[in-house]
Structure 1
Amino acid sequence: MLEDGLHGVPAGHTASVVTHLEMQAQAPQRPEADLPLTLERITTPDPDWYLGLFRKVGAPWLWFGRLTLTRDALLTVIHDAQVHVYAVREAGQDVGLLELDFRHHPDCELAYFGLTESAVGRGAGRWMMNRAIGLAWAQGITRFHVHTCTLDHPAALAFYQRSGFVPYAREIEIVEDPRLSALLPMDAAPHVPLIGR
């Protein structure tokens, strides 16, 4: 446990507050806009396609988790029958990534949930969350959980709460900056100061 007060972060690292949230009963669907979106499950995602969409959605928020895996380790995860990967599409283009992880059933983790910058702010997040909640609870789960951090979109935490998730734990995460380890380009997430080694 950290003591009260400020704690130094090593150069070349980022620090964020991670909030864990859960839903213990299916939340009602929220009103949504009529959008020209489709949701397609990709049962055996090509790893290059997956990583391309992962970066497209997540680079502005320093998503790096899948980028640290070897190709074989990534395939083990995304080809697991209990890991459901979905692409949100608009006019034939991928504009969102949804990943539901049922490997610890009856829990389901909302492992990844995000939209490209062009799709943000039009109601697509609510559209996608309505479907995520329906798909997760259709599998007979008893708990749906997710985590977000202070490096994520500034509206993410409030969005999850409006969607029916309740915060239950908080952590501090300090990791090597993925821009300095070449997992993401140096110009990713310009809102997060890059403090070199």
Structure 2
Amino acid sequence: MSYQDLPDGELAAVVTFLEMSERPDIASPRGTLQLRRVGHASPDQYRALFRKVGSPWLWFSRLMMDDEKLEAIVGDPAVELYEVAAVEAVVGMLELDFREAGQCELAFIGLIPQLAGQGHGKWLLSEALWLAWREEVKRVHVHTCSLDHPAALPAYRRAGFRAYKRAIERFPDPRVLGILPADCAPQIPLLGTLTSTSARPAS
């Protein structure tokens, strides 16, 4: 066994890639939340949803993109964006990417932490698979990492996904860069010098 030190301000995660090649036979649990298709989200609207759902797990990839690059993805007709709602409050998101022929990627799927452990995640994953598996789709895939909610990987496997690859991802801590506020993801210790913007609390 060996260890490799990381510089302050840098993070590393183990990424697990999973796939399924046929529609799983899983029952759809009854849900109290609603899944609503977002017809067209502006870059700022998308970022607000992405931050609300993903900041507790340090999602930052889409926050690094300029408007043009982000619009090219989320404005593509083959990319479907949904918001999860409890009455009027938005509490989660689902993004399905059909840009590769015959495949669907669960690009982003998640709920706010306050809903953890209540069965909503199982409902959302079931809804995601129901939407992903279409006549022309032969493969559905997703990836998760060791910084995500610890229930994510077991949930994917229970749903029928098979792990086929692992990788190490290294990246600058988005809190240190000021992309996310310093108080995001307190379960992941922050090391490094904060910028003036990163020290501000989340709005």
The one-letter code sitting in structure 2 at the alignment partner of 1:179 is R
- Whole-angstrom distance in 1 between the partners of 2:74 and 2:10: 28
Distance 1:45 1:139 in 2: 27
SS at match of 1:144: strand
How far the C-alpha of 1:9 sits from its partner, in A, is: 1.4
Moved more, 142-151 or 7-16: 7-16
Aligned position for 1:151:
147
- Give the whole-Å Cα distance in 2 for the aligned partners of 1:140 and 1:157: 26
Distance 1:139 1:65 in 2: 31
Per-residue deviation, 1:139? 5.0
TM-score under structure 2 length normalisation: 0.91
| Runs (5+) with no aligned partner, structure 1 | none
Residue 69 in 1 paired to residue 65 in 2?
Answer: yes
Distance 1:27 1:48 in 2: 35
Runs of 4+ in 1 over 3 A off after TM superposition: none
Deviations along 1:83-142, one digit per CA (max 9) or x if unpaired, are 000011111111110000011121111000000122222111111111111111125211
Range that drifts further, 51-60 or 169-178: 51-60
Question: Aligned pair count?
Answer: 193
- Structure 2 residue aligned with 1:185: 181
Name the TM-score, length of structure 1 as normaliser. 0.93
**Structure 2: 5+ residue stretches without partners:** 194-203
Structure 1 residue 11 and structure 2 residue 5: aligned? no
Looking at both structures, which has the greater relative contact order when contacts are Cα pairs under 8 Å and sequence separation is at least 6? 1
Is 1:30 matched with 2:23?
Answer: no
The Cα shift of 1:31 comes to 4.8
Q: Is residue 30–residue 163 contact of structure 1 (8 Å, CA) maintained in 2?
A: no
Correspondences of 1:94-133 after superposition (within 5 Å) = 94-133=90-129
Provide, for residues 173-194 of structure 1, a one-character-per-residue CA deviation record: whole Å limited to 9, x for no partner: 1100000111100011111111
What is the Cα-based RMSD across aligned positions, in Å?
Answer: 1.3
- 2:74, 2:81 within 8 Å by CA — same for their partners in 1? yes
1:43·1:79 contact (CA, 8 Å) conserved in 2? no
